[in-house]
Amino acid sequence: MSETVQVALIASIVGPVVLSVILAFFNGRAKREDWRRQDELEAIKAKREKEVASQASEAARLLLEAQKASEERLKEVAHLAKISNAKTEGSLKEIHTLVNSDMTAARQSELTQTQALLILMKSNKARDEAAGLKMSTSDQAAIDAQEIRVLELQRILDDRHDAQQRANHDTENKETAVGKAENEPEEVV
């Protein structure tokens, strides 16, 4: 066999082996790089999840504190209403107004806090989506629940406002009727 044939034979055998080794090296490097990127994304996702969980936990804690304070204030107002009612019938309207305004203020406070929490949750969602992370169904369910609660609180506050307007109108009508009755002369029978 000639030397050229031998070189060609060796090249035809060794060439694909060398090419396979080179391809395996570059494929392994690409895989390692891909794994490193995946690990980085997982680390970022874990960090964001911890941040979101921490923020949600803090928001929940603050909401619970506010709710407890509102409940304590409502208990105090109810106690004051009971004492005032026992003392005089005339102060009932003032206490009723106080209870309603405190309850309305508590509802408004809860609405404000719920809206703030919802903004925070949506902000985290947008940041995660911008980073290419997908929101879990439980996180989306939490956002949905907060949106429903905001609507409920807005409806409650609207109802309270309408009821107060009707009560004010009824009070004005009663005061007008009493004023007219006081100015009319008594009939002698």
What's the confidence (pLDDT) of residue 182?
47
- Locate the domains of the chain by residue range: 3-178
- For residue 188, what pLDDT is reported? 44
Residues 155-165 have a mean pLDDT of 90
Which of 7-11, 88-92, 156-160 has the largest mean confidence? 156-160
pTM tops 0.85, yes or no? no
pLDDT-based confidence at residue 90 (cuts at 50, 70, 90)? low
Q: Which band of pLDDT confidence, cut at 50, 70 and 90, is reported for residue 89?
A: low
Q: What is the pLDDT of residue 187?
A: 47
Is the Cβ–Cβ distance between 135 and 144 less than 8 Å?
Answer: no
- In the chain, alpha helices (H): 3-87, 92-130, 137-183
